[in-house]
Structure formats: C-alpha cells, structure tokens
Structure 1
Amino acid sequence: MHFHNLLILARLWIALLVISTLFILLVHAKTASQDVSSLNVMFTSLNSPSKLSGWKSSGGDPCGDSWEGITCDGSSVTEINLSNMGLTGSMGYQLSTLTSVTLFDLSNNNFKGDIPYQLPPNVRHIDLSNNGFTGSIPYSISQMKDLNYLSLAHNKLNNQLGDMFAKLNKLKELDVSDNSLSGDLPQSLKSLSSLKKLHLENNQFSGSINVLTKLPLEELNVENNKFTGWVPEELKEIDSLQTGGNSWSKGPAPPPPNGTPPFKHSEKEKNTNKSVARGIAIAGIAIGVLIVIIIIAALIKRRSPSPSSNFIDEETHSHRHRSFTPLASQELTKDDSGSDAVNKEYKGFKSLESTTIDMKALQKNPSVGVRSSVSDCVQSFNDNEFAKRLNSKRSTSVRCTPFSLAELQTATANFASGRLLGEGSIGCVYRAKYVDGKVLAVKKINPSLLDGGHPEEFSQLVSNMGKLHHPNISELVGYCSEQQEHMLIYDYFRNGSLHDFLHLSDDFSKPLTWNTRVRIALGTARAVEYLHETCSPSVTHKNIKSPNILLDMDLNPCLSDYGLASFHHRTSQNLGAGYNAPECTKPSAYTLKSDVYSFGVVMLELLTGRMPLDTSKPKAEQCLVRWATPQLHDINAVEKMVDPALRGLYPPKSLFRFADIIALCVQSEPEFRPPVSEVVQALVRLVQRSSMKMRDDLTTSGYDD
C-alpha cells in the first residue's frame, strides 16, 4: 500500500513537471519566430539603440517580454509604435514578413534616404511623418487594400505622386503635405471612395484638381502649390477647404460641356432619377434573362465544337494568368508553392500560332494594322501614366497599332538628341511624348539592316514579335513602316533599366534590396524560359544584358530587344561587351546556351553591383566574369564581392545559393550550362528556402539548412 502511494505521488510529480515545463516553454516562446526575426533585423538596422528597452539583435520574445513600442495579439506582433524616439539608421529589409501588423508609426524620428519599398503588407495605419525621407513614395503601398490612414508629411519626398491608389478604397486620411512632390495629381485618386481628409499643401503639384471632385471629402488643403484652372464647384461645398497660394484662373469658371448634369439635384429630381433607373434595371434584367435563354438553346442545338475551339480555350487559359507578375508583392520568406504551376502556365500555349497578319497587305501598304484571331500584342499598361487613365474605359488587350511617320516625328521632336534614350548596334531608341500625356519608346531600326528598306522582312518581324506574350517581356505596342523608315513602338518604362539602377545611381537614391534583386533575376529567367522553351520554334535572344531589362513601377523586370536576332547576324559590333559567351566569336555562333551565359553575367551584376567590363578597375578585375568566377564557391570571397549598396542586408544562405546558380550559368563550355528552365527552378527553390537572416546570424559554414 505504501509503495502504491509512492507510485501515485511520483506520477503526480511527473505530471506537474511536464505541465510546468510546457508553461515555461509557452511563456518564453510566445512570439512567432518570423516576427522575432523581423524585429531582430529592424533593431540592428536602427543601429541597436539602447532606448529601445527589451529589443535584441538576435532571439528574444517581443510579446512575452514587452519590448518597447510593440503590441501583440497572442503570438503575433500587431502594432509597432516608435514615434518620437530620436531613431536613426534604417528600418531593415524584412518588414513585409510582419503580416499581422496593422499599425506602423515611426513618425518624429531622424530617418533619411528612401522609405523602404517593403512595408508590413496588411497595415491599416502608417505614420512616417516628420522625418527626412527622400525619393519617391514606394509603390508597394498600392497593394495595401486595408490601409485607412497614411501620413508622410514633413519629409523631403520628391518626384511625382505615383498612380497607386486604385485599390485603396478604405483609405480615409491621406497627408503628404510639406514635401517636394510635383506633377499632376494621379487619376487613381478617383478610387479613394472613403477618403475624408486630404492634405497636399506645401508641395509643387501642378495642373488641375478636378480629379478630386467625386470624393467624399470633409477636409481638403491644397495650399501653396502650382495648381491652375478653377476650384470646382463641387469642392467648394467642403466644410474645411484651403486653396490659397496657387495660380488659380481669374473670373468665372467656364460652363460645363453640353450634356453634363448640374452639380446639385433637388430631392424630387433624385427620386425621379431613382425611379427611372429602377425601371431601366428591371427592363434590363428581363432582356438579360431572355438573351440567356436564347444562348442556352443555341448551345444545346449546336453541341459540336468548332475547329478552333481548343485554340480559344488555350487563349482563355492564358488570359487568366496574364495579369500575374512574379513575386510582385511577395517576400522571399513566403512559401512559393505555386511557383512551379506559374512557371508552367505558358506551357502548351502555341504563341507562334496565335496571331495572323495580312502579310501582302502590310507589304503593299505598311499602314495596314496587324490583325489577330483572338488578341494581338496583349499589353499591360501598368507603367504608362497615360494608359492608366484609360484603364477604366478600355481593355488591357490592344492591337499592334500602325503609327504614321509624321506622328512619330512630332512626338519625338523630329528624333531630337534630347529625346534619345539609348543607342545600340541595331538602331536608336527615342522617347515619344504626346500632348495628352501618353509616352512611348520608339526603336528606329538602322535602314542598312533591311536590305534597302524592303518591307517584306520588316512585316515578318512585326508578325513574329506580335505573337510573343509574357508578363516579363516588354511587348510590342505598334510599328511604323514609311519612306524607307522602319520603327518598333513599345511602352515607355519610367523606371528605366536594371543597368540604370545598378550603375547610374548612388547607394541611397535608388537602392535595390536583396529581395528585389532575386525577384528581378527570377522574372528575367522566366522571360528567357518562355522564349527558349515555350515558343515554337525557340527564340534565341542574343542580346541579354542589364540595359535590356526594363523595370516597371513595381520593379518587376521586362525583357526587351527580343525577336531581333536576325539583325545581329549583320552587325560587326560586339553584342554587349562583357556579356558574350566564349564561343560567340561571331553573332552566328549564338545558341540558347549562349543566352544562359549572358543571363549569368546579369546575375553577377545583381550580386556585385559591378559592370561586366570596367576599365576603371585594376586590370585583374576589369572583366567581371574572369574576376568573379574563381571565387563563386568560396563563402568568404562571395561575401567580399557583394554589392556595397546592400550594406550587409542580405540572408547569407540565399546569397551563396545565388552564387552557385551563377557559377553554373557562366561555365566556359556551353554543354555544361543548364537549360534556362533549370535555372528558373533553382531560383524558385532559393526563394522557398530563404531564411532572410542577417549575415551575422550565420551559424553554419556550409550551404545546407
């Protein structure tokens, strides 16, 4: 009996020990590890200030230990309020992993440089006012659908107010006052259907404020800008309105256009309008039901598919995915389990059978448009400010448009040197600007490459290029073939090229984070994979280099200068010094594996921030590939060659895997280089495995997790 009691006591003791141990573990591991890691990086980036009590550069429990300015809900960090703390440095590169944060307030501090591109994605309240931020407002804010308060006032922000408000229909207060923002107000401001307070004062905005007329504003301040025109009557009804210090037109405003309804309606008119609308709606529903019945009957009667039905299904499937932009708003820490599916989304899409062009008509009359059986030259106008204003009125799919020579001469100021964007072995690229705000890029092909200007080859070129559609390719918008002149027209990318970001910007004006660099590499690889393995026959690019990788407003890559390989056979110039594979002693020697080599050089640029050939460097370092290749498998050497602009903000394991992929691509023997599809998969795995830790957190000396 005594032994039995001892046994019971022992069991109770063990149970209590287990419970207490679990309790201790719960207390000391309260905060989600992802949030802990993000705050560790943030603390280090803030120069580890002692005033942030409880904060650590590694480990810790922000929720359990009540870190300064941190509020939690369960194991998740929900608020970061570090206002008026005298903080300096930067906010780190891992903020986008804080998916539960709804309040982010770092106002009244001493931050400088750009606002981080990556911010907590589900935040509702952002206050970064009263700092020294410069540059542009990050476009990532455009994806914050739950945002209801945004204050960036009293900084040194410049450039234009980006067209980023289309999805922010919950935003109630917007304050960008006391900066140096300029240009016209973006049309997407019309989408701010919940906006009550708007402060734009003390900037350099110009143009009219008519875009604000439909907003439910209760407070509006546009003082001390360069606005012109008249203050709309609708805005004069706002309770708190301040408009002084602008260049308003004098005298009465012109009458509204014919057919424009008056601003105010009586209650009787409103009720009448509602009754009419209700009657129209009922009639519309009845007609709609009748049409549906007729369509169903026709479908039942005609069950046999048309010969092109499979093709149309294929096109429909392709259109479903075309709006996808690889990793546009995702962080490297997130699981990319859908990447394989996305990577294969264009498989089976016979792009080179999707467009038909009347070749004879184009040869006889170059102004004849390119025609498509389903859609021609699908073009996403995310980066063209003019087209953004038309998005609500037109489809994102447009035809390749014929442009007249006279029109392009006017838009480019007769191809003035001031409009020159770049010059290559095939021709020059000019910026074409229209009075309505539309901006395009015009590639003027060297006439000597077209055998005296005969249109046959050019029409075939337009035909082939018009069939290529991919989210990471800068697609053809139009063409011109007149008076021995042949031109290709593309969308204009305001952010310029990858080359501009890496080599023409200082460390603070336009820094590319590690996440963004990997995203650019992956998106470009997918574009090359599309050309190599989806198109039939395969398309060899032959001129892959950083100046031909354009960046949209979200810093997603779009590969340009594709489809022009036939011209490269006739040029005696070196096709992109430093990018050519060793076997490419002449243009005709290019293969698909040569493209892989060139892409590897671009990845080296992303890793090191160096140009492929740089005569300002010591002789042993002038050729980037020759200098870097022997060091790509040496961990210490790789860390030393990393672009200083990253300022050490990168996850080490991701860095080393990136270097491994480069080493495979730039091998001297083409047969040893992987196909680009394997490069894509390697980059996807890199994204999936990335732990996003600071290099100081590296605890292993190898590459394995």
Structure 2
Amino acid sequence: MRHNLAGLWISLLAIFTTAVHCRTDSQDVSALNGMYSSLTSHSQLEGWKSSGGDPCGDSWKGIKCSGSSVTKINLSGLGLTGSMGYQLANMASVTHFDLSKNNLNGDLPYQLPPNSRHIDLSKNSFTGVVPFSISEMTNLNTLNLAHNQLNNQLGDMFGKLTKLKQMDLSFNSLSGNLPQSFKSLSGLKKLDLQNNQLSGSIKVLGNLPLEELNVENNKFSGWIPAELKNISSLQTGGNSWSTPPPPPPEKGIGKPAVIGIVLGSIAFVLLVVSVIVAVVKKRSSLPPLRFLDEELNHHRSPTPLASQELSNNVSEFKPSDSALIDIKALPEVPSSSARSSASDCVQTLDDNEITNRLNAARSISIRVVHHFPFADLRAATGNFASSRLIGKGSIGCVYRAKYADGQVLAVKKLDSTKFLGSSPEEFSQIISKISHVHHPNIAKLVGYSSEQGDNMLVYEYFRNGSLHKFLHVSDDFSKPLTWNTRVKIALGTAQAIAYLHESCSPPIVHKNIKSSNIVLDSEFNPHLSDCGLASFHQRPSQNLGAGYKAPECSVPEAYTLKSDVYSFGVVMLELLTGRQPLDRSKPISEQFLVLWATPQLHDIVSLSNMVDPSLRGLYPPKSLSMLADIIAFCVRPEPKFRPQMSEVVVSLLRLVEHSNMNMREDLDLGMDDNDD
C-alpha cells in the first residue's frame, strides 16, 4: 500500500513538473506551427501541429529543449517538402538547426534562428541568395548550404563571423567575386566553394587559417596565393588560373628613394586632408549617404529600370554628436536572445527625458537617426516645390530631396495643424517609436527635422514610387506589374504587417494601410511606410482612407489589428483587379471595390472577368483562386472572422510556391488558348 502511494505521488509529481516546467515558450510554438503549416509533406513529423501544442512537453519529433525553450531542431532526411516558414527569427534559443537531405524548395527565409551555432540546409532545392541575416550570427560555428540552387553574388556579410570554422557553399549557382569580408573569417578551417560560377581572384583567402580549401570548377582567375599552397588539403582544378608564375616580390630600395617616397606621401596626405576638410565644412549638415540619381521625367510614371535600391546601412551613420538622437540611451530593442515582457519594438520614457535626449544627445551608439537642418531640406526640395512633390496624404506631403552630390531622400513634411493642442514632446516620441521598428519590408527612417513649428521625417527614397502609382497612374511608358510581382508585393507587405502585429510588444496597429503607403524598390520589393504614425489617425478629423476603412471603424478609436487586416485585403483586391478602392467614375454598383468584388470572389467565371486587364491573361488560374480565397477572408465584415496576419503570410507563401510550380504550365496553356 505504501509502495503504491509512493508510486502515485511520483507519477503526480512527474505530471505536475511537466505541466509547470515543460510548457514551451509561446514564440517557439508559434514558429514551429508556422514551419509545419509551410510544409506540404510532413507525415514524418510526429506530434507536430499547425496551431498550439507543447513541443517540449510532448516530445515533437526532431525537437530538443532546455527547460521551456527549443534549443535543437534536427529534421534531416525526413522527406519533407514545401518551405521552412517565416518566424524562425523568434527562436532565440535554437543553436542547432538541421533540415538537410529533404526536398524543401523556394527562397531561403531572410531570417534564420539568430543564435545558431550549427546550420545545415544542404541537399535541398532552395533558391535565391544566402540570407543576409547570417551576418549577425556571431556565434555561428558551422554553415552548410551545399547542394541547393542558390544564385547571385555573395553579400558582404561575413565581417562578424569570427567563430565560423566550417563553411560549405558548394554545388550551387553562386556567381561574382568573393566578398572582401571573407578576410574577417579568422577562425575558418574548412571552406568548400566548388561547383559554382564564382569568378575573380581568391587573394582574399590568403591569410585565413585554412586547413582545407576546395574551389574547383568555378571561374576563378589570377594566381593562387602562395600562403594557400602549404595547407593540408587544397583543390583548385577547373578554373582559369594564370599560367605564368606570379611576379616576384620587389627587392629593397635605397635610402634616397625611401626618403623621396616618404616626402611625396606626406605631401599627398596633406593634400587629401585639406580637400576632406573643405568638403566636410561644406557638407557637415548632411549624412554620408551617396545614391545614384536620375532626373525623373515628370510627364510619365517611373519605370522599373529608373531606380537603384538604397543602401541597407542607413542606421550605421556616425555624424557629429550634436546631430544625433541617442538611440542607445532611448529604449533599446531587446535582442532576440533576451526574451522578456519588455517591448521588442517600442518602450516609453518620461516625456521630459525623451525631449532632453532629443535636443541635447551625446551619442556613442551607431544606431542613430540624423538631424537635418530645415534650411538644408528646404534647399534640397527646391523650397518644397510642387515639381518635387511625390505624394500627398491626410497628415502631410512627401517631397523628393536631391543634393548636389547625388544624394536623394524622401521628406515627409507633417501638417502642422496635426500638432495643435499636443505637447512639444509628441514629435520626439514619434521619432523614438519609428526608430525601433526594423524590418526589411518597412521603410527606414533616416532622420528628422523640427524647427520653428515645422516637423519633418526623412526616409530612404525609392525611385519606383508607390504601388498606387503603378496600379492607377499608368501611361504608355509604364510597365505593368506581372502576376508574380503582384504576389511578391502582397507577401512582402503582409510580412511587414505581421511583424508590427505579432513581433512587437505591445503590437503596433498601422491604421493607414493603402497602396500609396507601399513603396517599391528597384527589385519591386515592397516597403510599408507611415509605420508608427498611428497617433495621427486617432483624431476625429482624420480620414482613414476612403475604400480602405473596415466596417467597424466608424470612429478612429475603433481601429484594431483586424482592421489592418481588412485594409490589407483591399490592397490585395487592388493588385487583383487593378481598380481603386473607391472610384466615383464607375457605375454606382461598382464604385466601392469591396462591395463589388466580394460576391464574385468564389465564382470562377466572374473572378476571371474581374482580373486586371493589364495582365493580359498571363497568370495561373489556380493561383488566382487561391488569392481570391485569401482576400475573401481578410475583408469579412466581422473582425473576429478575419485571420491574423501570420495566417495570411502562411497562405501567401503557399500561393507563391504554387505559382512557381504552375506558372510555366498555366502560361503555356493560356497562350495556346489565345492562339486558338
């Protein structure tokens, strides 16, 4: 009896311990749910679910945990198909990530578990580029992306990976020169680059502590550095090496020659310094941005080839201390490795404290936004000339600012009436909030100006303009957006909104999602603008965007996350139909896009008739139905029946995969039909 009671207590204790200590972190659960939903064949994933569950407590296949955190994901060789999901960046405790030897496809996610030490995604069918997020994985020890279909050049992303010991990028379609940041791989012992299309010199590898190097079957040229010829395993065949031996090192030179060289060098340095000082004095009020610019023809819309994508490093400027907001001293974005109840995007400080730091910051941080003198912005915009106006909204106008050195920025001049009755600290709070929002599909804040009642926000500039212009302000010179580009824009925008809703704590409601607030870079990647400006949309005078406003938003205060979902559904309707959300020129029954389109979304014949004519029938019919289904869910009248943005992203990822698989077949069939 006593033995039975003891056994019972042990069982109860085990159950209680599991319930208390093995409940998996919610972010890990959400990320694994997203991964499961993105996979199309996952019969081997025992215990996995598309929603909820307890991976640690229920021992999901391939999942290892420490406490309540997932630390290891090993799904190698399980015959998985589909894609990997999009919430991997939330898995901050994962150090071992292995999905090798499967049939996974699509582009590699732009974010992977950020604190990984071992990543193995080899022997799949991944496409696209090596994710730039790898550049921040300072603990990475092993990276294996071999035997995939990766292409394009390697980004200059390896400067911080000093702990990386093994890297295998072999058997892909990588091209271009080796990045100079390879020089920083001070711990690299083994490097495999064979069977790619890499070119140029391998001199950048000369001083690495390599023990094994394979660069066979590429397009490398020049000479093999002498330092590499002594490593234990070197394979270099199948390249275009220079046949003559490299030139011998220069012999010593005489003392008079040395003196001459030194004096000449000193004179040259003094000349360079004087030029730099003169330039700095002339341009000290501007951040060190350099963008190529072409004068726009104001008689037509910009074409895709009229743009060059801006640099991703605008957050790393180091101008003078007096011109900086102290972003380090202001609320810091917690790293993904430090989960807590603290805000991931925005935190609040006392108003006076923010204002003091805004006005008199002495920053030691590289995460900064720049103060622009009003006079400089006025000059760069031609005194805010109408010819420089690139957008006009209910809270202000956006101007193109161009400087003599080719620098181009977008300046949002906020309507001064929006600040009537508000405290002086409100603008500093807005800047603090926007500065903590970081996502590849969200327009980046470069700087600000606040002088004599004029408040302005300065953003990176995208010469392809807004989605609204491409859809609704077209002419003979404009190139229509293809089906795949439209889906790409929808997916990128959805990911930006999902970040605001579900990665930020507390969640950020955008409140002004519309096609004119989605700007396109040179590759037609979308960038959501006006993020963090929701406080303006809570004022009674604010127009929430005709045609985009959800039914429940009779007053601005009623706007919720699900209201954003509705507005995004309207944007997808624009992409589908090419129509504006509200068009008074149409017959009364067709003026409101949602009311006209919704009843037709589930009718195949009606659906095909409402597709944007500029597509000329070049789209996969099955993917069209999938997009219509997603839209129908988003624009439901009742907010509670609309999906979360993460669910929208998963659905769009499936659509992307389906489009990639069926685009060629469907287009061929469509052309055959047209020929008939």
TM-score scaled by length of structure 2: 0.51
CA change 1:605–1:211 in 2 (3 A) is: farther
> Is the 1:125–1:150 contact (alpha carbons within 8 Å) kept by the matching residues of 2?
yes
Correspondence list, 1:135-534, <5 A: 135-253=128-246, 318=326, 320-321=328-329, 335=340, 337-338=342-343, 342-344=347-349, 441=408, 470=435, 474=444, 505=485, 507=487, 511-512=491-492, 516-519=496-499
User: What residue in structure 1 maps to residue 651 of structure 2?
Assistant: 647
Q: How far apart are 1:550 and its partner, in Å?
A: 6.9
Residues in 1 aligned to 2:647 and 2:32: alpha-carbon distance in whole angstroms: 24
Three-state SS of the structure 2 residue aligned to 1:108 is coil
Three-state SS of the structure 2 residue aligned to 1:22 is helix
Residues in 2 aligned to 1:182 and 1:431: alpha-carbon distance in whole angstroms: 34
Residues in 1 aligned to 2:340 and 2:482: alpha-carbon distance in whole angstroms: 28
Residues in 2 aligned to 1:67 and 1:353: alpha-carbon distance in whole angstroms: 49
Report whether the alignment pairs 1:610 with 2:572.
yes
Residues in 2 aligned to 1:335 and 1:135: alpha-carbon distance in whole angstroms: 34
Alignment deviations for residues 603-645 of structure 1 (CA, whole Å, 9 cap, x no partner): 7665665266875359366379998998464333x23999965
Report whether the alignment pairs 1:110 with 2:103.
yes
Three-state SS of the structure 1 residue aligned to 2:140 is coil
Three-state SS of the structure 1 residue aligned to 2:156 is coil
> Is the 2:96–2:118 contact (alpha carbons within 8 Å) kept by the matching residues of 1?
yes
Q: How far apart are 1:647 and its partner, in Å?
A: 1.0
User: What residue in structure 2 maps to residue 24 of structure 1?
Assistant: 15
CA change 1:48–1:522 in 2 (3 A) is: closer
CA change 1:25–1:353 in 2 (3 A) is: closer
> Is the 2:518–2:528 contact (alpha carbons within 8 Å) kept by the matching residues of 1?
no
> Is the 2:154–2:176 contact (alpha carbons within 8 Å) kept by the matching residues of 1?
yes
Structure number with larger C-alpha Rg: 1
Correspondence list, 1:14-163, <5 A: 17-26=8-17, 31-34=22-25, 35=28, 38-47=31-40, 49-57=42-50, 67-73=60-66, 76-163=69-156
> Is the 2:34–2:85 contact (alpha carbons within 8 Å) kept by the matching residues of 1?
yes
Report whether the alignment pairs 1:635 with 2:640.
yes
> Is the 2:159–2:185 contact (alpha carbons within 8 Å) kept by the matching residues of 1?
yes
> Is the 1:610–1:624 contact (alpha carbons within 8 Å) kept by the matching residues of 2?
no
Residues in 2 aligned to 1:69 and 1:134: alpha-carbon distance in whole angstroms: 24
User: What residue in structure 2 maps to residue 266 of structure 1?
Assistant: none
Q: How far apart are 1:161 and its partner, in Å?
A: 1.6
> Is the 2:99–2:120 contact (alpha carbons within 8 Å) kept by the matching residues of 1?
yes
Alignment deviations for residues 406-451 of structure 1 (CA, whole Å, 9 cap, x no partner): xxxxxxxxxxxxxxxx97799998999x9xxxx965789xxxxxxx
2:167 partner amino acid: L
CA change 1:78–1:579 in 2 (3 A) is: closer
Residues in 1 aligned to 2:238 and 2:596: alpha-carbon distance in whole angstroms: 57
> Is the 1:605–1:612 contact (alpha carbons within 8 Å) kept by the matching residues of 2?
no
Residues in 2 aligned to 1:329 and 1:108: alpha-carbon distance in whole angstroms: 28
Three-state SS of the structure 2 residue aligned to 1:227 is strand
1:135 partner amino acid: G
Correspondence list, 1:559-570, <5 A: none
Aligned residues: 475
CA change 1:513–1:192 in 2 (3 A) is: farther
CA change 1:15–1:162 in 2 (3 A) is: same
Alignment deviations for residues 311-337 of structure 1 (CA, whole Å, 9 cap, x no partner): x99878715358966x88589xx5451
Residues in 1 aligned to 2:137 and 2:209: alpha-carbon distance in whole angstroms: 20
Q: How far apart are 1:104 and its partner, in Å?
A: 1.7
Residues in 2 aligned to 1:240 and 1:545: alpha-carbon distance in whole angstroms: 56
Three-state SS of the structure 2 residue aligned to 1:111 is strand
Alignment deviations for residues 469-514 of structure 1 (CA, whole Å, 9 cap, x no partner): 956675669xxxxxxxxxxx98678999899999963657994496
> Is the 2:38–2:83 contact (alpha carbons within 8 Å) kept by the matching residues of 1?
yes
Alignment deviations for residues 102-145 of structure 1 (CA, whole Å, 9 cap, x no partner): 22211111111022334333321111111111112222222322
Three-state SS of the structure 2 residue aligned to 1:318 is coil
User: What residue in structure 2 maps to residue 667 of structure 1?
Assistant: none
Percent of aligned pairs with the same amino acid: 44
Q: How far apart are 1:173 and its partner, in Å?
A: 0.7
> Is the 1:135–1:509 contact (alpha carbons within 8 Å) kept by the matching residues of 2?
no
Q: How far apart are 1:21 and its partner, in Å?
A: 1.8
CA change 1:494–1:92 in 2 (3 A) is: farther
Residues in 2 aligned to 1:51 and 1:146: alpha-carbon distance in whole angstroms: 30
CA change 1:245–1:399 in 2 (3 A) is: farther
Residues in 1 aligned to 2:200 and 2:62: alpha-carbon distance in whole angstroms: 41
> Is the 1:136–1:158 contact (alpha carbons within 8 Å) kept by the matching residues of 2?
yes
> Is the 2:410–2:461 contact (alpha carbons within 8 Å) kept by the matching residues of 1?
no
Residues in 2 aligned to 1:645 and 1:222: alpha-carbon distance in whole angstroms: 39
> Is the 1:221–1:242 contact (alpha carbons within 8 Å) kept by the matching residues of 2?
yes
> Is the 1:107–1:128 contact (alpha carbons within 8 Å) kept by the matching residues of 2?
yes
> Is the 2:216–2:239 contact (alpha carbons within 8 Å) kept by the matching residues of 1?
yes
Residues in 2 aligned to 1:346 and 1:316: alpha-carbon distance in whole angstroms: 18
> Is the 2:326–2:362 contact (alpha carbons within 8 Å) kept by the matching residues of 1?
no
Three-state SS of the structure 1 residue aligned to 2:126 is strand
CA change 1:508–1:317 in 2 (3 A) is: closer
> Is the 1:513–1:646 contact (alpha carbons within 8 Å) kept by the matching residues of 2?
no
CA change 1:13–1:110 in 2 (3 A) is: closer
> Is the 1:90–1:111 contact (alpha carbons within 8 Å) kept by the matching residues of 2?
yes
Alignment deviations for residues 230-260 of structure 1 (CA, whole Å, 9 cap, x no partner): 3333333333223333344453445779999
> Is the 2:548–2:570 contact (alpha carbons within 8 Å) kept by the matching residues of 1?
no
Q: How far apart are 1:83 and its partner, in Å?
A: 1.6
Residues in 2 aligned to 1:550 and 1:323: alpha-carbon distance in whole angstroms: 30
Residues in 2 aligned to 1:641 and 1:62: alpha-carbon distance in whole angstroms: 23
Residues in 2 aligned to 1:642 and 1:73: alpha-carbon distance in whole angstroms: 26
> Is the 1:171–1:194 contact (alpha carbons within 8 Å) kept by the matching residues of 2?
yes
> Is the 1:514–1:646 contact (alpha carbons within 8 Å) kept by the matching residues of 2?
no
Q: How far apart are 1:379 and its partner, in Å?
A: 8.7
CA change 1:105–1:398 in 2 (3 A) is: same
Q: How far apart are 1:195 and its partner, in Å?
A: 0.8
1:505 partner amino acid: T
Three-state SS of the structure 2 residue aligned to 1:23 is helix
CA change 1:82–1:622 in 2 (3 A) is: same
2:163 partner amino acid: K
TM-score scaled by length of structure 1: 0.49
